[in-house]
Amino acid sequence: MFDTLPGFREFPPDACARRNHLFRVFRTIARTFDFQEYDVPVLEPLDLYLEKSGEEIANQLFHFEDKGGRKVALRPELTPTLARMVAARANSLPKPVKWFNIGEHFRYERPQKGRGRSFYQFNADLIGEVGIDADAELIALLCSIFETFGLGNKEVVVRLSDRVTWVLFLAKLGISEEARPATLDAIDKSERRKPEQTIESLESTNPDRGKELFEKIQEIKGLNSLEEIIKRLEECGEKGTERAQHWQGLIDRLEAHGCEPMIKVDLSIVRGLAYYTGFVYEAFEATGQGRALAGGGRYDHLIKKLSGNCDLPAAGFAIGDMTLSDCLESNNLLPRYITATDLFLVFEETERDLGVRLSNRLRKAGYSTTYSLKSSGFGKQFKDAGKSGARYAIILGEEEVKNAQAKVKDLRSGTEEKCKITSIVEMIEHWDGEGGISQ
Ligand code: HAM
């Protein structure tokens, strides 16, 4: 026997139905925000991620050399591919580009609750728009998806932060431009590390300042209201004042979108991916338990870095299916899908051809129809019909067939009625609509 690889999941029909429920909501809500669906390959050149995603993801890649000697990787995320794709079509695409994708991704992480090595993401990105209205639109889409699943601000929180604000604060702390990316990385990881480890990382990029910076950064991470952040930004000169206005604008717009109650200003979010340049956010269960449900932000320079000449601002986010399913399950919000057939045909073996012809007609009329594939008595067929969960059994007995008729039996109420075989679709349609035999 071969087992599935660690961190990979199988989806038997009930799990697949649950997964499809997530996908259906993603698609429906993305369309209401006028995002269009696109798709891309799962296998990409390794360098795409080594250069663009940052160290953390590069360490988690599934990669190998193909038979042509190319170094390739299974996609751990979608953003670099999207950036490349848009850059290649930049001149012909109407702006802003509002695209979404639902697809499988692969990261060699330690499998644990909410984290696998293969998982699905819903990605939504808005490209070609630099202003906060684009960030607001994306955050509103994220919140709207949560709300459609039945998750409100009691269940979910979107923690909103800003890399520009962090850069201004780090500059004020005298941290050199070269040391900033590594310092931001240490801040990002500090949530999951012991203080000594963070101090050590800070020390290595900012010699002799590890402990002092750690304390100052802790204090900044503790700024958790718009007022406090704006006040501190106004101490950072003209750029700080300008950024304070962006913060205020974004929060005002989120209020207009009606999703402000789900938002929590929280500078402890920095985001691990290297390409983010502006407002960033992660969604979590309001209890604070579990890994992130979603994450995203602005990445204004990635497209230029990938294409060399095409300078398009961009922002987006991704929701993962694993943590979201766990969250819906623990809040009792995963509907139980019934994937039963509509109709079960019961017939004498001598009438098999007639049965198959009839099932063909019923299927063409849109009814899910099934019947026993091997010869069996009426008793066994009725038992199977019951087990199948079908709503109606259609019986082609000797008596009925002689008169070109069939018997339709409602398997819930037990009521039954005869009708002409030629008018069986109309009969079921009528019955279906009325919820019982018309008298
Ligand atoms: P990310 O934060 O790396 O962002 O991933 C987004 C979401 O994908 C996470 O919040 C989580 O729900 C899910 N996820 C990530 N890794 C795993 C895993 N190993 N197992 C299960 N779920 C996982 C990005 O990927 C960015 N590319 C998002 C983005 C789109 N930014 C701009 N546009």
Q: Answer whether 115 contacts ligand 1 (Cβ < 6 A).
A: yes
pLDDT band at 434 (very low <50, low <70, confident <90, very high): low
Closest residue CA from atom 2 of ligand 1: 295
Q: Is a pLDDT exceeding 50 seen at residue 240? A: yes
430 against 185, higher pLDDT: 185
Which has the minimum average pLDDT: 20-24, 206-210, 342-346?
Answer: 206-210
Helices (H), 103-162: 132-148
- Rounded to a whole number, what is the distance in angstroms from the first to the last CA of the chain? 57
305 against 261, higher pLDDT: 261
pLDDT one-digit tens code per residue, 383-407: 999 999 999 999 999 999 999 999 9
Q: Answer whether 300 contacts ligand 1 (Cβ < 6 A).
A: no
pLDDT band at 433 (very low <50, low <70, confident <90, very high): low
Give the whole-angstrom CA distance, residue 268 versus residue 221: 5
Ligand 1 atom showing the smallest separation from residue 315 Cα: 32
Q: Answer whether 344 contacts ligand 1 (Cβ < 6 A).
A: no
Q: Answer whether 109 contacts ligand 1 (Cβ < 6 A).
A: yes
**What is the 357 CA–ligand 1 centroid distance (Å)?**
49
pLDDT number for residue 437:
43
Q: Answer whether 121 contacts ligand 1 (Cβ < 6 A).
A: yes
Q: Answer whether 161 contacts ligand 1 (Cβ < 6 A).
A: no
Sign of the torsion formed by the C-alpha atoms of 263, 253, 250 and 300:
positive
pLDDT one-digit tens code per residue, 12-21: 999 999 999 9
What is the mean pLDDT of the segment spanning 38-49? 95
pLDDT number for residue 310:
87
pLDDT band at 439 (very low <50, low <70, confident <90, very high): very low
Q: Quick one: CA torsion of 351, 354, 357, 358, rounded to 10 degrees?
A: -100
Closest residue CA from atom 14 of ligand 1: 320
**What is the 165 CA–ligand 1 centroid distance (Å)?**
23
Q: Is a pLDDT exceeding 50 seen at residue 94? A: yes
pLDDT number for residue 274:
81
What is the mean pLDDT of the segment spanning 129-152? 98
What is the mean pLDDT of the segment spanning 37-51? 94
**What is the 295 CA–ligand 1 centroid distance (Å)?**
6
56 against 146, higher pLDDT: 146
pLDDT-above-70 percentage for the chain: 97
Mutational test site, ligand 1, from 38, 44, 74, 77, max ligand atoms within 8 Å of CB: 77
Q: Answer whether 278 contacts ligand 1 (Cβ < 6 A).
A: no
**What is the 273 CA–ligand 1 centroid distance (Å)?**
10
**What is the 57 CA–ligand 1 centroid distance (Å)?**
10
pLDDT one-digit tens code per residue, 243-274: 999 999 999 999 999 999 999 999 999 987 88
pLDDT number for residue 123:
98
Q: Is a pLDDT exceeding 90 seen at residue 346? A: yes
Which residues does residue 283 pair with via DSSP β-bridges, in sequence order? 158, 294
pLDDT band at 292 (very low <50, low <70, confident <90, very high): very high
Q: 132, 279 in Cβ contact below 8 A?
A: yes
In DSSP notation, 182-221 reads HHHHHHHHHTTS-HHHHHHHHHHHSTT-HHHHHHHHHHHH
Work out the mean pLDDT of the chain and round it to a whole number. Answer: 93
pLDDT number for residue 436:
47
Mutational test site, ligand 1, from 110, 121, 270, 302, max ligand atoms within 8 Å of CB: 121
pLDDT band at 205 (very low <50, low <70, confident <90, very high): confident
pLDDT band at 206 (very low <50, low <70, confident <90, very high): confident
Ligand 1 atom showing the smallest separation from residue 320 Cα: 12
